[in-house]
Amino acid sequence: MKIDVLVAEIGSTTTVVNAFNNINTDSPGFIGQGQAPTTVFEGGDVRNGLNGAIKELCKNLGVKSIEYDDMFATSSAAGGLKMTVHGLVYDMTAKAAKEAALGAGAVIHKVTAGKLRRTDLKEIKNISPNIILIAGGVDYGERDTAIYNAELIAGINLGIPIIYAGNVENQEEIKLIFEDTNYKLYLAENVYPKIDLLNIEPTRKIIQDVFEEHITNAPGMKHIKDMVNENITPTPGAVMEASKLLYKYIGDLITIDVGGATTDLHSVTEGNEGISRILVNPEPTAKRSVEGDLGVYVNMENIVNLIGKENLEEELKINIDKIMEEYIPIPKSVNQIKFVERLTKEAVIRATLRHSGRIRCVYGTSGKSKIAEGKDLTEVKYIVGTGGALTRLPNRIEIMRYITEYNKNKDLLFPKENTKILVDNDYIMASLGVLSKKYENASLRLMLKSLNLEEDKSCILG
């Protein structure tokens, strides 16, 4: 069977392939999906999961084989895109660099502020990141810290891509530092060019381009790269791209992706104007947070411990030890589904708490006043659920609705109670994020259909 586009999502626990036709028309179609265990954590090759997913896709379509014109891929296998980030002041350049890396789909293993120490260098070596991001200093401001850090990093000979996104005045100096090393240097615009001004989008794009160029770490990924004739993007970065595209047409939103290893939350909103006036530090319009302890398969025990095993048994009336022994990536039995729904609910609310900001009272010479810290989600119109858990579990809508009911004291900058819940019913949001790099109009139309917003399509698309 011949199709227009195949998109593979190579995850930490499962691999999904999605097939699309009529991609260059006003009526693009999602025609089928297949999935299989990824197997990387068992010492396997990502090609096994991909071949298994394609085999299931063929079975679902009732064909023996498929051919395609374009193939895209997203990947978070083997830990995804590992990065370390090094800036000057934590709440300024280090935070801006971190936001850029997270928005690109990275999993950040270390953030430092100020001059690196020997212990930091040792830890960077042990982490063995895919990319290192160096920032520091507003443009034409402080120079020495970024130069010092670059010299130390150059001396440990990791031979990986380095992105410099700090004080523009340092760029020539940074070039000289890495000139005769085994690193490949990429220069980006400063992520924090002026006080209280974030400029993270240029660095995000470079991170994704570097990831695509150097993605060879998971077993078999070199061969996947040979199969793909279009973009390879970190899966979380692809979900962010889809969220940003959706924001352009329907307004402020958050997207929650509960996975086997992590829970990612993407918000695209400028927040409330009144809140922004009392905000302590600037926040990006598009922000992603990744919670590496909130996966519902690989990190299942973490969430069980957060809730408490006895509390779970009392609430669910099931034997938790037995369920955990029999637990599989895609739950089948009634008790397994009850269990993973409770884990998902906990992951969703904890991820939202960590991602969002709050109102706080402070006391000064003029008395009590209010300040805001963190990301303001109060203007969010839509909560979008994607990923295996929030697209397949029976009570997925109730799980997401809980976010809007949680803010009892009204001090959290959470979405309001009238926020609309949307589900990526076809489980294709990450695929559409990477697809949008070449087929933006088709990606939007397919997304609106998956979210059951097709009735609004005519006014949205003009």
pLDDT digits (tens, 9 = 90+) for 228-265: 777 778 888 899 999 999 999 999 999 999 988 789 99
pLDDT bin (cut points 50, 70, 90) of residue 457 is low
Amino acid 41: pLDDT: 46
Q: By three-state DSSP, how is residue 9 classified?
A: strand
72 and 86 inside one domain = no
Amino acid 459: pLDDT: 46
Amino acid 367: pLDDT: 84
pTM, two decimal places = 0.83
150 and 9 inside one domain = no
Q: Which of 253, 229, 290, 262 is nearest to 104 (CA)?
A: 290
Q: How many domains does the chain have?
A: 3
397 and 251 inside one domain = yes
Percent of the chain with pLDDT over 70: 92
Amino acid 462: pLDDT: 47
96 and 61 inside one domain = no
Q: Which of 36, 116, 105, 110 is nearest to 75 (CA)?
A: 105
Cα 297-301-303 angle, rounded to 5 deg: 85
Does residue 297 have a pLDDT over 90? no
Question: What integer is the mean pLDDT of 84-99?
Answer: 90
The residue out of 214, 248, 281 marking a domain boundary is 214
Amino acid 274: pLDDT: 93
Residue 297 near residue 261 (C-beta atoms within 8 A): yes
In a domain, 222, yes or no: no
Report the CATH number that the domain containing residue 124 is assigned in CATH.
Answer: 3.40.50.2300
Give Cα 319 to chain centroid, integer Å: 33
323 and 394 inside one domain = yes
In a domain, 73, yes or no: yes
In a domain, 146, yes or no: yes
324 and 247 inside one domain = yes
Question: What integer is the mean pLDDT of 380-408?
Answer: 94
CA distances from 84 to 12, 81, 165, 271 (A): 20, 10, 13, 29
Picking from 52-56, 214-218, 364-368, 451-455, which range would have the lowest pLDDT averaged per residue?
Answer: 214-218
The residue out of 52, 77, 102 marking a domain boundary is 77
In a domain, 281, yes or no: yes
Report the CATH number that the domain containing residue 46 is assigned in CATH.
Answer: 3.30.420.40
In a domain, 349, yes or no: yes
Query: What contacts 421, CB < 8 A, 6 or more positions away?
Result: 382, 383, 385, 397, 400, 401
The residue out of 59, 77, 95 marking a domain boundary is 77
Cα 424-431-60 angle, rounded to 5 deg: 80
Q: By three-state DSSP, how is residue 201 classified?
A: helix
Amino acid 315: pLDDT: 95
Give the total residue count for the chain.
462
In a domain, 220, yes or no: no
Question: What integer is the mean pLDDT of 362-386?
Answer: 92
Does residue 131 have a pLDDT over 50? yes
337 and 366 inside one domain = yes
Structure tokens at 311: 């509390």
Picking from 140-149, 257-266, 363-372, 451-460, which range would have the lowest pLDDT averaged per residue?
Answer: 451-460
CA distances from 248 to 126, 242, 269, 445 (A): 41, 10, 10, 13
Question: What integer is the mean pLDDT of 362-372?
Answer: 86
The mean of the pLDDT values for the chain is: 89
Q: Which of 58, 45, 79 is nearest to 6 (CA)?
A: 58
Does residue 157 have a pLDDT over 80? yes
The dihedral of CA 63, 67, 72, 77: what is its sign? positive
Q: What whole-number distance in Å separates Cα of residue 173 and Cα of residue 86?
A: 17
Residue 191 near residue 207 (C-beta atoms within 8 A): no
265 and 392 inside one domain = yes
Q: Is 307 exposed, middle or buried (0-12, 13-18, 19+ CB in 10 A)?
A: middle
66 and 142 inside one domain = no
Does residue 19 have a pLDDT over 80? yes
In a domain, 191, yes or no: yes
Amino acid 305: pLDDT: 93
In a domain, 343, yes or no: yes
Amino acid 15: pLDDT: 85
Q: Which of 137, 132, 197, 192 is nearest to 169 (CA)?
A: 137
37 and 130 inside one domain = no
Amino acid 368: pLDDT: 86
101 and 192 inside one domain = yes
Does residue 426 have a pLDDT over 70? yes
Between 40 and 324, where is the model more confident? 324
Amino acid 363: pLDDT: 86
Picking from 112-121, 153-162, 356-365, 380-389, which range would have the lowest pLDDT averaged per residue?
Answer: 356-365
pLDDT single digits (tens) 303-315 = 999 999 999 999 9
296 and 379 inside one domain = yes
Give me the domain span that covers residue 399. Answer: 233-424
pLDDT bin (cut points 50, 70, 90) of residue 54 is very high
